[in-house]
Amino acid sequence: MRIKLWSNTVATIVLLVMLVTLPLLSACGGEETAPTIPTTPAEVEETAEFDIVRDAVAAYLADTAGNMKASDLNMMIAEDNAPYIVSLRSAEDYAKGHIPGAVNIKFSELNTLPEDEEILVYCYTGQSASMAAATMGVLGYDVQNLLHGMSSWSTDSNVYVSRFNPETSQGDYAVETTANTATETYDFLELDNTTSSDADEIIEAAAKTVSPKYITAADLNMKIAEGEDITIVSVRSAEHYAAGHIPGAINIGLSSLAENLDKLDPDAPVYVYCYTGHSAAQATALLNMLGYDAYSLKYGMCGWTSDESANMGKCFDATTAHGYEAEK
């Protein structure tokens, strides 16, 4: 009788232990869980600003909306199903011609846009709008960037104003195929953008630090030649990085940016590039939110070299531009 009672007691204890420890085991191993952003004042108080912003960046990268083609936007406008369209171009160029229905605002005014609508942002070539889309995406907006901006929408030079031109925008700088590995790791930056203990306000304060920052291929090539202390990041695919990359560049995919921040020297400027500048512009905005002094390479690898084995032939082609309506 005693043996049976002891057996039942042990079984009960084992069951209780399993109920308590199983959630802990699932949290410590097995499937990875998505980053959670602290929400209560107590959680925020115990979490550094950097970590809160990094988790918001990681959440955005896990579910980014990407770019919209001009043909798709034109169809939506024709079907009276257009998103809220925002031009980030100058007021002067907006007056020369803009996408029908678009409003014109400054980059610094992005947080004034409606939160309950789909938003489409565009600029001249897609890079500034990509920075805007990433910044707004982290803030929770449902936003997309117009691929290649006004360059893709219009064929009228008086309307698109500025676009990628291989004759004037493309260099022929050195390309290497030897992989560069980041062997050193660095501490993260300490953000101090606000005294608030509200996670949303901390993320918004980080977003307000973002403004379009670029470097031309000529200037980056000079910095490399002069041996400046810099970090160059390719966010292109590993396959295309291996086919040819900017000398000294390390390869970090855009989707894994938040997990590889310890590879970036917080005391040195970071120059990011991709194919045409869109993905790199997103990465640049996100890094700026995290306190890094980051810049997007203008026109990406297409601005660096005309060698299609390195730029993958992904450069903007003016013959693919549309002659869609622009209103004044």
Digit-by-digit pLDDT tens for the chain (328 residues) are 333 333 343 343 333 333 334 343 333 334 444 556 665 555 555 589 999 999 999 999 999 888 999 999 999 999 999 999 999 999 999 999 999 999 999 999 998 999 999 999 999 999 999 999 999 999 999 999 999 999 999 999 999 999 999 999 999 999 999 999 999 999 999 999 999 999 999 999 999 999 999 999 999 999 999 999 999 999 999 999 999 999 999 999 999 999 999 999 999 999 999 999 999 999 999 999 999 999 999 999 999 999 999 999 999 999 999 999 999 9
Query: Are 144 and 179 members of one domain?
Result: no
- State residue 66's pLDDT score: 85
193's tokens: 């953008």
Contact 244, 307 (CB under 8 A): yes
Could you tell me if residue 221 is inside a domain? yes
CATH code, 180: 3.40.250.10
Strands 214-215 vs 142-146: parallel, antiparallel or unpaired: unpaired
Could you tell me if residue 43 is inside a domain? no
- State residue 31's pLDDT score: 42
Query: Are 146 and 217 members of one domain?
Result: no
- State residue 26's pLDDT score: 38
Could you tell me if residue 159 is inside a domain? yes
User: What's the burial of 180, exposed, middle or buried (CB within 10 Å: 0-12/13-18/19+)?
Assistant: middle
Question: Token match 């005014």: residue?
Answer: 109
Query: Are 121 and 183 members of one domain?
Result: no
Query: Are 199 and 306 members of one domain?
Result: yes
Domain end among 116, 132, 165: 165
Q: What is the CA radius of gyration of the chain?
A: 24
Could you tell me if residue 13 is inside a domain? no
Domain end among 107, 136, 165: 165
Query: Are 177 and 296 members of one domain?
Result: yes
- Other Cβ atoms closer than 10 A to 162: 15
Could you tell me if residue 113 is inside a domain? yes
146's tokens: 């117009």
Query: Are 203 and 215 members of one domain?
Result: yes
Query: Are 215 and 274 members of one domain?
Result: yes
Q: In 62-196, which residue ranges form alpha helices assigned H by DSSP?
A: 70-78, 91-96, 127-138, 149-153, 157-160, 166-169
Q: Within 13 A of 157's CA, how many CA atoms are on the CB side?
A: 3
Query: Are 173 and 303 members of one domain?
Result: yes
- State residue 43's pLDDT score: 57
How far does CA 242 lie from the centroid of its chain?
Answer: 22
Contacts of 27 (CB under 8 A, 6+ apart): 33
Query: Are 187 and 270 members of one domain?
Result: yes
Contact 271, 233 (CB under 8 A): yes
| Residues spanned by the domain of 83 | 67-165
Question: Token match 């970036």: residue?
Answer: 264
- State residue 7's pLDDT score: 36
Query: Are 200 and 278 members of one domain?
Result: yes
Contacts of 105 (CB under 8 A, 6+ apart): 86, 87, 88, 112, 113
Query: Are 238 and 202 members of one domain?
Result: yes
Could you tell me if residue 14 is inside a domain? no
- State residue 27's pLDDT score: 38
Query: Are 160 and 223 members of one domain?
Result: no
Could you tell me if residue 316 is inside a domain? no
Please report the sign of the dihedral spanned by the C-alpha atoms of residue 304, residue 307, residue 308, residue 310: negative
| CA-to-CA separations, 278 to 55, 138, 147, 254, in angstroms, rounded | 22, 16, 8, 11
Q: How many domains does the chain have?
A: 2
* Rounded (5°) CA angle 181-183-185: 125
Could you tell me if residue 20 is inside a domain? no
